[in-house]
Amino acid sequence: MDGTGIYEIWQGLLWPLLRLMFFVSLGLMVGNFIEALNWTSKVARLARPLTRAGRLSPVTGASFSVAFFSGVSANTMLAEAYDQERLGKLELVMANLFNSLPRFFLHLPTVFFLTVTFIKGAAFYYVGLTMAAACLETFSVVIAGRLLLPEPQEKPAAKPERKQKRITWSQALGRTWERFRKRIRRIAAFTVPVYVVFFLLNRFGMFEAGRDYHADHAPFLAWLHPETLGIVALHISAELSAALAAAGSLLDAGSISNRDLVLALLVGNVLSSPMRAIRHQFPYYAGIFSPRLALELIFYSQTFRAMAMIIVGAGYYFLG
């Protein structure tokens, strides 16, 4: 194997995999440490108005609060609670959807400064609409929880009992390390081979072929401005930065309006998300959750997200 091939494997597989496992390990440690110190209820207070309205558990509230800083830690907390049967399947799915808003804010700085660099003032419309979609997802879960989840039962005896149990930091670190050792093996056993398989599929052009087919066979996009179809195609077949570069060029030339540009970016966002989710989310989701459950959570998340984006986009199309 020549130097180019080794460099490609390092850049495309080994370095991203090491980085992914580092952040998964860090998130796992943080999530387990919060659990070991019994801080779940304290962290959950930040989201209490929403969780109380949606009849969601403190674990869901704690996961929501932690998700503003680490998606891996938030998912780890949910997986631990689900494995220990403190969280049912329905609420697990709802909790994953509930975290849409903190996930959005976690990536907001990167997305905003990238978009504003290329498309200037139109960035405020695009980022604002995607934030509205994330808010719609989270508040829809609150409403659904109110309708579908049972009223939480108060346990008066639980509070005094918890107060008696004082856990030192050394004890918490010991518990955290024990849980970490058990869980990281399972995570690595699923994440590493899945990531390698997806790397090979990408190297042999499977994802590129799928994206190109998706981009070339979209007659339902006839309502878009013709010149914006290239933006949608780039969003699907490449990355957001490529679509933004094309959009900025068309905008500067006066070929399209802000409205046409924003609609094209929203459509590209919806169409490209499922492929990106399977490629980037599934490897570590399959380690934190079981592979089947990981696919279910990604499916529900992407379906719910697409519906929210379509509703927001339709509102902008007719009212913008």
Q: Which residue has the tokens 């994330």?
A: 134
Q: Backbone phi, then psi, for 37, in 5-degree steps?
A: -85, 0
DSSP, collapsed to helix, strand or coil, labels residue 110 as helix
Could you read off the pLDDT of 126-148 as tens digits, one per residue?
Answer: 999 999 999 999 999 999 999 99
Identify the band that residue 3 occupies on the pLDDT scale cut at 50, 70 and 90: low
For residue 255, pLDDT over 70 is answered with: yes
For residue 29, pLDDT over 60 is answered with: yes
Closest to 266 (Cα-Cα) out of 298, 236, 292, 296:
236
DSSP, collapsed to helix, strand or coil, labels residue 299 as helix
Q: What's the predicted TM-score (pTM) here?
A: 0.77
Report the alpha-carbon angle 213-217-223, nearest 5: 140
Distance between CA atoms of residues 126 and 112, nearest Å: 9
Q: What are the b/e assignments for 192-209, b being 16+ CB within 10 Å? A: eebbeebbeeeeeeebee
Listed in sequence order, the DSSP H helices in the chain are 3-9, 15-36, 40-44, 48-53, 58-66, 71-83, 89-98, 100-119, 122-148, 158-164, 169-203, 206-216, 229-237, 240-252, 258-276, 282-288, 291-319
User: Lowest mean pLDDT: which of 81-90, 119-128, 156-165?
Assistant: 156-165
Residue 227, both tokens: 């010149």
C-alpha dist (Å) from residue 245 to 212, 230, 231, 313: 19, 11, 9, 21
Predicted pLDDT at 211? 52
Predicted pLDDT at 158? 44
Distance between CA atoms of residues 77 and 231, nearest Å: 38
Most confidently predicted of 35-49, 60-74, 299-313: 299-313
Predicted pLDDT at 30? 76
Predicted pLDDT at 160? 45
Query: Do residues 198 and 279 touch, judged by C-beta distance below 8 A?
Result: yes
Distance between CA atoms of residues 312 and 100, nearest Å: 15
Q: Backbone phi, then psi, for 50, in 5-degree steps?
A: -75, -45
Average pLDDT of the chain is: 81
Predicted pLDDT at 210? 53
For residue 58, pLDDT over 50 is answered with: yes
Could you read off the pLDDT of 141-180 as tens digits, one per residue?
Answer: 999 999 999 886 655 444 444 444 567 777 778 888 887 8
User: Lowest mean pLDDT: which of 104-118, 239-253, 281-295?
Assistant: 239-253
Identify the band that residue 196 occupies on the pLDDT scale cut at 50, 70 and 90: confident
The domain limits of the chain are 3-149+159-319
Contacts of 78 (CB under 8 A, 6+ apart): 59, 60, 63, 87, 92, 95, 96
User: Lowest mean pLDDT: which of 98-102, 160-164, 269-273?
Assistant: 160-164
For residue 205, pLDDT over 80 is answered with: no
Most confidently predicted of 80-89, 104-113, 276-285, 303-312: 303-312
Q: Which residue has the higher pLDDT, 93 or 108?
A: 93
